Structure 1
């Protein structure tokens, strides 16, 4: 069984949504240049304001739930106080559209990616840009923080995924596992796995401890625009141009880094179409946004479908494994390389009609 709460106050496409840490508020942003604050229990808009002079591409809430972050086509990134709907500060070093902006896990830093081909790291307290990394081959489309807060994954329009060390701007891992631009990336809560979605219609599961991709999932029939893990890592959701929101059950074996010999930190992104963003607050709910100007919060309780293990492809990866780094006191250098495996995944719910193709995945 499932139930859906629909909000439809935006006048055009919704590009981003974010939950507050307590789950009592949802913030949304879109092409109409506005930001809206929703209370699902009240089922109405509790606050709205004109945030930018051009469409707002991304929205995020800090770990305390007190601050909100927006990124826009007006080339700026802004911080707001949630309770008072108050503007606090702006970061305007970007010279083109800002695709995404994300708070670090401790809320002290911000990572932004822009069509000026830059990845920038900002200090929230000082407003200073502490790191700038410029891509040569393609503009970054999305960015995600590692749970430890010392690394970020960047999804690139040139079909690559890169992991950078935030402190030293060092490239830690490079993956070339898609045949088209990468639209989104998401870390597993353990930090051991990375999920990616691409214009090539596939979802990839990357084992970061092994430094290699382990599976490709082919449930979508069009570009995959958004991917996201639940907080406990037991499920992940994907959305794409085929107007589908798919929720998957994954059995990912996680490991405690202390169990293994210390070696290097081997760590290997957004079309604004039908499903442009996916965010999961908990096991029970996921939020999807769409070009029909609406936001849907879907509460799922039953497992609908299973995907057979044999339908997953194990990839012969094309990626660069960088030299090992010396052992240090940081978590990033205390990661071993166990043989982590994805035992199986199951599609547990779906949005809209799903028409299985004759090829994988199959349902029973």
Structure 2
């Protein structure tokens, strides 16, 4: 990654500012092509924001309570949402799209995630389980249930062969899809993890922790690689840049941080939110990222990370700190890199606050929002899912009866 030949590298910059939810935003995801963003909210809705200036946005409001998570299929033809009402809804992201719903768990569903083929879906719940489903028929396949408390999130690895889960039992668990076995367990003494993200290479995971920390683990070697203490409050979400060289994080301290993983240091502290930041995500190409939280705001940023040059960082940071904004350098947080074995008391990250920018002040709150109800198609799909589950259970009963008959015949 080389810097701009005309001068120092470019900083992230706010591009769009959306408001429209009436409750806090719980999760966000870019569509595969990067032209839309899906946000779930405590206001019981999902909004699809179209980043094309003149296009309208669509609000789906078929959940009966808070929506905790949202996911796009790899091809962008489906969106799944996880509700506090125990249901998962799968629908086409258009006004007159086909939709379906099924009761996935006995307690609130916290997250949903598609695998790399789009054929499988993963759900995590307060019922302490993670379940694997076949998308086409809403068919239950397997359950991963070694957790002893609420499961906050479950994510497929990039190749779809592994699953990472984080739970309120203070564990990070790695499951093998084919065998169903838990192959790695990492525990945290200080606080429970809130979110997990796979590195693009598929051999590492980052965990957002309630003790204000971020940890990165090597899954194959079963060891901790990096530890960052760059937030002053619990960390709610983390996302890797597609290059694998940067990590984005959002926290209850209302800030977003960008970490340079190769150098093992924070490089940006971004402001703009007035309450906890619950969700962060990059586009597939890494050119943009988005942040959202309890303040009901959705901020879309140009990342400009393709211009970043680590050799220029200290000069850029010094220039920012000597300018009019003396708060560019903060010494209130610290960082440890287990790769280098060093720690620094000062955080030299560059501070960016876009609230005086034109992009922030021109909030996109006058767009046309089309409300869409999914209830018309949900009943038949729900019945289909229930029928599949009944058929599966009957098959299990038949198999057990045959085994008992075999034993008695002996």
Q: TM-score range by the shorter chain?
A: 0.7 to 0.9
User: 5 Å matches for 1:116-127?
Assistant: 116-127=127-138
Question: Match of 1:112?
Answer: 123
Q: 2:69 & 2:350 partners in 1: Cα distance?
A: 26
Q: 1:64 & 1:157 partners in 2: Cα distance?
A: 32
Q: 1:209 & 1:171 partners in 2: Cα distance?
A: 13
Question: Match of 1:275?
Answer: 277
1:78 counterpart = 2:81 = no
Q: 1:226 & 1:243 partners in 2: Cα distance?
A: 12
Q: 1:16 & 1:43 partners in 2: Cα distance?
A: 24
Kindly indicate which of the two structures has a greater share of residues assigned to strand.
1
| Match 1:34 to one of 45, 48, 51 | 45
Structure 1 residue 232: Cα displacement: 2.2
Q: Retained in 1: the 8 A contact 2:30–2:38?
A: yes
Question: Match of 1:221?
Answer: 232
Kindly indicate which of the two structures has a greater share of residues assigned to helix.
2
TM-score, with structure 2 as normaliser: 0.69
Gaps of 5+ in 1: 254-272, 315-340, 354-364
1:195 counterpart = 2:197 = no
Structure 1's consecutive aligned runs of 4 or more residues displaced over 4 angstroms after TM superposition are 302-307, 341-353
- SS of the equivalent of 2:230 reads coil
Q: 1:305 & 1:278 partners in 2: Cα distance?
A: 24
Structure 1 residue 68: Cα displacement: 0.3
Structure 1 residue 8: Cα displacement: 0.3
Question: Match of 1:289?
Answer: 292
1:52-107 C-alpha deviation (Å, 9 max, x unpaired): 11111101101001100100001000101013453422231301110001111111
Question: Match of 1:51?
Answer: 62
Structure 1 residue 42: Cα displacement: 1.2
Q: 2:246 & 2:157 partners in 1: Cα distance?
A: 18
Gaps of 5+ in 2: 1-10, 265-274, 319-328, 355-410
| Match 1:312 to one of 336, 359, 382 | 336
Count of equivalent residues: 306
Q: 2:57 & 2:348 partners in 1: Cα distance?
A: 34
Question: Match of 2:169?
Answer: 158
Q: 1:43 & 1:33 partners in 2: Cα distance?
A: 26
- SS of the equivalent of 2:262 reads strand
Question: Match of 1:60?
Answer: 71
1:6-64 C-alpha deviation (Å, 9 max, x unpaired): 11011111111111111111111201111111112317642112131111110110100
Question: Match of 1:267?
Answer: none
Q: Retained in 2: the 8 A contact 1:244–1:350?
A: no
CA 1:296/1:21 → structure 2, altered by over 3 Å: closer, same or farther? same
Q: 1:305 & 1:43 partners in 2: Cα distance?
A: 38
Q: Retained in 2: the 8 A contact 1:123–1:129?
A: yes
How big is the alpha-carbon RMSD for the aligned residues of Structure 1 and Structure 2?
2.7
Q: 1:252 & 1:187 partners in 2: Cα distance?
A: 19
CA 1:126/1:139 → structure 2, altered by over 3 Å: closer, same or farther? same
98-107 or 275-284, which deviates more: 275-284
Q: 1:235 & 1:250 partners in 2: Cα distance?
A: 5
CA 1:211/1:10 → structure 2, altered by over 3 Å: closer, same or farther? same
| Match 1:234 to one of 211, 228, 245 | 245
Q: 2:53 & 2:201 partners in 1: Cα distance?
A: 34
